[in-house]
Structures are given as C-alpha cells and as structure tokens.
Structure 1
Amino acid sequence: MSEPAEIGARVRTIRRRRGLSLETAAGLAGISKPYLSMLESGRRRFERRGLLEDLARALGCAVTDLTGEPYLPGDRAMAEAHATLPEISIALFDATLDDVPDLPARPVGDLAALARAANAASAESRYSLAGRELGALLTELHIHAVTGEPDTRRAALGALTEACFVAAGNARNLGSHDLAMHAAKRGEEAARRLADPALAAFAAMTSTSALSRMGARHRAQRVAAAALAAVEPHADPSGDAPETAEAAGMLHLSSAQMAAKDQDPSRADDHLREAAALAARTGERNTLQFSFGPANVRAWSLSVAVELGQGTARAETIAGTNGYDVDLVTADRRAALHFDLARGFAQAEGSRDAEAVRHLDLADRIAPQRVRNDPVAREVVAVLDRRARRAAWELDSLRNRFGVG
C-alpha cells in the first residue's frame, strides 16, 4: 500500500525530472521555497487538497501522479469495491446515448429502483454494494434511453443520470478520477436531454466534484458558474420544485470550496452566504442523496475554513455545538464532517492532536471505504503519528487501518 510519506518524494522526483528548481516550483505553486523543501522531505504534509492540486499544476502532472492513487485495497470489502470499476468503465464506453448494444433490458421501473438503491448505498459509503451489477444497470438504462418509447426514455434518462452519480462518486472516492469524470459527463448529457433544471444542476455538481478532485479547478469553476446561472432563475425553495434550490445551494457550496482552494476568502464567504440563505428556506432535504440543508452548509463551511488555513477555530465552534452531526443523514456526510474536524484540529500544530485523532477515528469507523482511500486523510494520519509524544492505541490503530508507517 502506498504510504503518504511518498507524496513528498514524488514531488521531488517529478520536479527534478521537469528541471525545475525549488524556488521556481514553489513560485509556480504559490508557496515559499522553505515550505516546498519541507513538503518534499516529509517534515510537512499535504493537509489541504488545494495544495496538492496547486503543486500538481505547477509540476505539470496529475494529482494522482503525486498521491499514487488508486491505492491497493486493504480488505475484502475494499477489493470488491475496486473490482466493480472495470465493468462500469466498459458499460460507459460500450454504450452512448445514440448507440447501444443489442441486448435485452429489464423493465425500466425495476432499473430505476436499482439505481435509487445503489445511490443510497453509495451515500452510506458502501461502494462494494453500490457498485455491484452497476455496469449492467448502466448498459440497460442506456438501451431504454435510446430505444424506448417517449415515456420509457424519460424514465430511463432520469434513472441513468442517478446511476451515473453513483458511478462518478464511487470512482472518485476510490481514486479512479478519469472514470469519475467520464461517468459525470454522461450523467450531464442524460440530464440535458430531460431539460430538468434541478437534475441538470445536480449533474453539473457531480462533474464539478470530479473535476475539482482531479485538480482541474479552472474547468470546475466554469462548469459550476454556468450551472448556477442556468438554475438560479428556477431556484425557489417555496415553489413547486424546491429541489432546484437544493441544487443551486450545492453548487454554491462547491464554488465556496474552490474559492478557498484559490485562497480567496471573500469569494468563498459570498458563496457560503448564498448557500446558507437557501438552506434556511429549504430546511433539511436529501434529494438524490445530496443532503442539502443547514447542517450540510455548516459542514462545508468547515471544509472551506480548513482550505483557508482557519480550520481550528471553525472546528472548535462546530464541535462545541450540541448535536452538530445529527442532521447529516448519510454516512458519507457524517464521515466527511468528522474528517474535516480532524483536519481542523490538526492545524493547531499539535496542541489539539488528541481531538484530531478522535475525530479521524470516528470518521473511519463511520465510512471506512471513503476515508481510507482519501490521500489527505492518509496525510493527516502521518502528521499525527509524527507529532505523537507517546504511544497511543487509537493512533496505532489508525496507522494499521490506513497502512501508514
């Protein structure tokens, strides 16, 4: 299993092969020369996603060239999850929305129910269950979307969009970013054919997430901005389609995080305020497992603060609130919050490491398939291990579960 300590070594190797000096590479990434030197030597770690993306761009490589993703599976469930990806890839390349294989397909209602069940399993970070038979499901939905009668086509396109959300999310969280992007784009294409503003915006949100995780922030921002412009005229939380407001809110949250990665706190705050205003009117909702509402806006505000280097103060505020995670209804969102609490407390440079360990342990127990495949989570484990002043069972357990050290 690839260890996070190797990220700094990969940075050094690629930088040297590019013929870049420390000073030049650091300047291109927007960081100082001493900081880059510490990253390469392992004295500092990559606790912010934006830093990984900035360095990859500066070095002219993919983020995965630095992280070593996808990681070898550490247990049977993880192996089963990874084993679903080749069939998903084949299905998406073998069928398009204009040409499909000549194969039988189950009734579209049955397929739509399977897509909903897969999406629910993915939201619980059970990728092995969500991905089981997903390749066949994608193929059959394509067949109905191309060959069915008008009502059947519409039902198939809606279910296909949801199935693509599952494929994109699973692939992204398992480190297969090219496949995630391909699935997300197919979902966008299916949603466009339905001319459904909310579904199109949710599909754009999925593409934005895939692009951002790849490090393609410029394109991700363009996709999010275009989708926001298209959905905001329809985004009325009190209207007949409140899901349009949910979709607009999610795009604002994604835009806030990307602004934070750009170290632009003003723009990030603007998007967070827009999302919070929408969430105050929608309340807690969960259309298509996107979990939009006040609780998720609060959780994303922590992720934004961490990217801005302000995570400790925000983590203290959230962790000091009673029931701060009870309204996050999916394992994916609860684990993400506890992981970001760990990142926030880890930014206190050692004084809050016990809390960081506790929240990272909780995140991993809630959604191990999600957290253990996250390169930044693995970096946080390494940071906490390096700073530990004495042996602790919880930290030893995290090292063993993540295969770090």
Structure 2
Amino acid sequence: MDHAEIGERLARIRRRRGMSIDTAAGLAGISKAYWSMLENGKRRFERRGLLEDLAAAVGCAVSDLTGQPYLPGDRVSAEALASLPPISLALFDSTLDDVPSDIRVRPVGELARLATRANAASADSRYALAGNDLGALLTELHVHAVTGDTDTRRTALRALTEACIVAIGAARTLGNNDLAAMAARRAQDAAARLEDAALGGFAAMSASVVLGRMGARHRAQQVTSMALDAVKAADPQATDTAPAEAAGMLHLASAQLAAKDRDADTAETHLGAAAELAARTGECSTLHYDFGPANVQAWSLSLAVELGTGPERAEQITRHTDYDAGLTSAERRAALHFDLARAFVQAEGARDGEAIRHLDIADRVAPLRIRHDPIAREVVAELDARAHRRAWELDSLKSRLQVS
C-alpha cells in the first residue's frame, strides 16, 4: 500500500461528491489546511476517530478510504480470509426462528466445546484456526437453538453467542465490518433469548466496537447505553463476576466512543467507572475479554491516543517494567504495544525509535491483528517518511505490512 492511498481516495470521493475542501473540512470538524495535508499525504491517519469523521463528511464507508479488506500477504492470512464466506453464508441462511431442514448436526455439547476452543484461538489472534469450520459450527448451533428441547436450546444459544463473538473478531480484524456487525447482532439476539444480561453485555460491547469502526457512533452509543443499564448494578465482588466484567467493558467502549468525539470529560468518567470495577474484580477473563486493571490501563492509552495525549500516557505506562504482564491474551498484548507505537508517533519524531520497537513487538505477537489494520500501515508510512536513514527494523515492518 502506498502511504498516500488513503489521502488520494479521500480526494477522489470528495470531488465525486462535488464538495469543496472548505465544506468537507467543516463537516469533519477540522481545518481546511489539515484536510488538504491529509489528501496530499502530508499528514497521516493514525487516529481511528479521524478516519471515521472523514468518511462521514464525504458520505462513504471507512473501508472506501482504507481499501479493506486487504489482499492476503501470506498463507495464514489467506486461510483466515477464506473462513469469512462460510461464516457469512451461515448467518444469512439461518435465523433464530428458521433453519435449513437437511443439516446433520453434531451433539450440542461437542459444538459448545468447539466454540470455546475457537474463542481461545481468536483471543490469541489465530484467526485461521478460530475460523476453521466456524461456518458449519454456526449453522449447527442454529439448528439446535431452533429444534432442540429447552436445555439443548439454552446450551446452543450460549455457544452460539460465543461462536458469533469469534466471528465478530475475525471479520473485524480482517476488514469485513459488515459481516462483523451482522455477527454482533446475532450474538445480541441469542443472548437476549437467554435473558442473560452479562452475556448480552459482552455481545453489545463487541457490537459497539464494530459500529464505531464503521463510523456509526450514534448507534454504538445506544447499544452500549442500553446494555449498561442492564448490568450497571452488578456486584464486582460477587461469586460470579461476569456481570461486573461486562459492565466494565461497556464503560471502556463508551469511553472510546467519547474519545473519538473529543469529549475528554465523558471519556474520563467512563474510564474511571471501569477502573473502579476492575479494582474490585481483579484480573478476569470471562469469554476472553480480559477485564481487569491491566486491560483498563491498556484502554486508557488508546483513549489518550484518540485525544492527542498519547506520548504522555505512554511515558507513564512504560515507566513500569511489567506494564504488560497482566494481559494474558496475544490479542490484548499486541493491542497495547500497537497503541504504544501510535502514541510515540504522536511525539513528532522524538520517539520514533520506540514506536518502531513497539510496533515490531505487536506484529510478532499477533501478526494478523496488525497486518490487516489500516492504522498500522499509516504508522509505518509516517515512520518511513520521517526516517533520516534506512533501518533494517523499519524496512522489515514495511515488508511485513506491505507498505511501499
């Protein structure tokens, strides 16, 4: 990917809409000069909120600007991408009220174990493994959820919610947000039939992230608010901490949405609520959401990057040698190191060496998570544009992330 491609797409779409830079910049809430620099490749797109605002301003999807989904650059990426069409078919061909009549199904207990195994693989960013046979798994769980007895239906609905969460992660990471949103809606519906507020909260949190990536922040805020109402009274010191974990994750999602809107006060309020819950639950991992103090700290960095205070927060976090020790999944560790890279890039060249180091760590921990992220490619392009001399580490990142 040439690092000016997003800017070129933005300019092309704006012109096709017949919009002036003045008008488009006003709709996005940025200056005309800044918009011009974005179109001309003189400024990078390192904030997700910025990409979403630009897409909304010119009336297109975020993927229209980023060019996602990307062509696979290696065998593992190709295998992961190949898992998405069967997932799409399963979700279109079955509902919670109607399923194909000619499907042979495995025992529901076996399917539930497979869903749990797929979720563990997804948490470690092994989407090729997580997506293997996921389409068939989704279809068979739908059949049990529609045709089984009461106990079978409940087991199937719970496993179906987890399988849909796996589908959300794979589709979102690989650049198919429409499919991720569809899987999120199905997960929410399955949890609602169980009347399980915690399970519904986790599904809603994932839905909110996907909707936010699509630029649908209004809907994302509605989803998080409704789900949070159902779990906000959860006791973080109860034997079952899942409701409190779900509440904490919903607060983090709400904080992220506020940060993208540049509403620092609301973001801080939700972050504080999540931190209070995490201090009482400790480190937890229901459905591999990894809620706890370590993840709240990681999310605080992501918020800081969106709010433009990334370098300061990154400096605070990295003062401690064990800053990533509490993150048990590869997905979350990679996300933290990626956000550290994004944060140090905001230092305008003063911390580029650290940015390269953290981006390299993130890619080695969870390559699929990083190589299919348009923001990661923008970070590499920015680092390359500022480099005064060639460095093997940066050249390696350019090759791995397909940045020309």
* TM bucket, shorter chain: over 0.9
Q: Tell me how far apart the structure 2 counterparts of residues 299 and 39 of structure 1 sit (CA, whole Å).
A: 28
> Do the aligned partners of 2:197 and 2:227 also contact (CA within 8 Å) in 1?
no
Q: Provide the rounded CA distance (Å) in 2 between the counterparts of 1:142 and 1:153.
A: 9
2:114 is matched with 114
Matched, 1:389 2:388: yes
CA distance in 2, matches of 1:97, 1:260: 35
Structure 1 residue 28, shift from structure 2 partner: 0.5
Residues 192-233 of structure 1: CA distance to partner in whole angstroms, max 9, x if unpaired?
000011001111111111101111111101110111111112
> Which residue of 1 is the match for residue 247 of structure 2?
248
String of CA shifts for 1:89-141, please: whole Å, max 9, x gaps. Answer: 00000110000112111011100000000000000000100000000000000
Q: Report deviation, 1:322.
A: 2.0
Long gaps (5+) in structure 2 = none
Distance in 2 (CA, whole Å) between partners of 1:236 and 1:289 is 20
**Residues 4 and 375, structure 1, Cα contact 8 Å, conserved in 2:** no
Q: How far apart, CA to CA, are the structure 1 residues paired with 2:403 and 2:201?
A: 38
Give the deviation of 1:318 after TM superposition: 0.7
Contact 1:4 1:67 in 2 (8 A): no
Q: How does 1:169-318 map to 2 (within 5 A)?
A: 169-233=169-233, 235-318=234-317
Q: Does 1:332 find its partner at 2:331?
A: yes
Q: Which residue pairs with 2:320 in the alignment?
A: 321
Q: Distance in 1 between matches of 2:211 and 2:320?
A: 33
| Letter of the 1:141 counterpart | L
Task: Give the root-mean-square deviation of aligned CA atoms.
Answer: 0.7
Task: Give the SS at the match of 1:42.
Answer: coil
The answer to whether the aligner puts 1:123 opposite 2:149 as a matched pair is: no
Q: Does 1:27 align with 2:29?
A: no
Query: Which aligned runs of 4 or more in structure 1 are off by greater than 3 angstroms?
Result: none
Q: Distance in 2 between matches of 1:376 and 1:225?
A: 27
Q: Which residue of the partner structure matches residue 10 of structure 2?
A: 11
TM-score normalised to the size of structure 1? 0.99
Q: 2:4, 2:322 → 1: CA distance?
A: 36
Whole-angstrom CA distance in 1 between matches of 2:4 and 2:163: 36
Distance 1:360 1:376 in 2: 11
Q: How many residues align?
A: 403
- Given the two structures, how large is their TM-score scaled by the length of structure 2? 0.99
Distance 1:113 1:47, change over 3 A: same
Shift of 1:179: 0.3
- SS across alignment from 2:232: helix
1:57-68 pair list within 5 angstroms: 57-68=56-67
Identity %: 67
Q: Distance in 2 between matches of 1:399 and 1:5?
A: 14
The aligned amino acid for 1:186 is: R
CA shift, 1:241, in A, is: 2.4
Q: Distance in 2 between matches of 1:331 and 1:96?
A: 32
Determine the C-alpha separation between the residues in 1 that align with 2:2 and 2:255.
30
Runs (5+) with no aligned partner, structure 1: none
Residue 149 of structure 1 aligns with which residue? 149
Q: By how many angstroms is 1:379 displaced? A: 0.3
Aligned to 2:167: 167
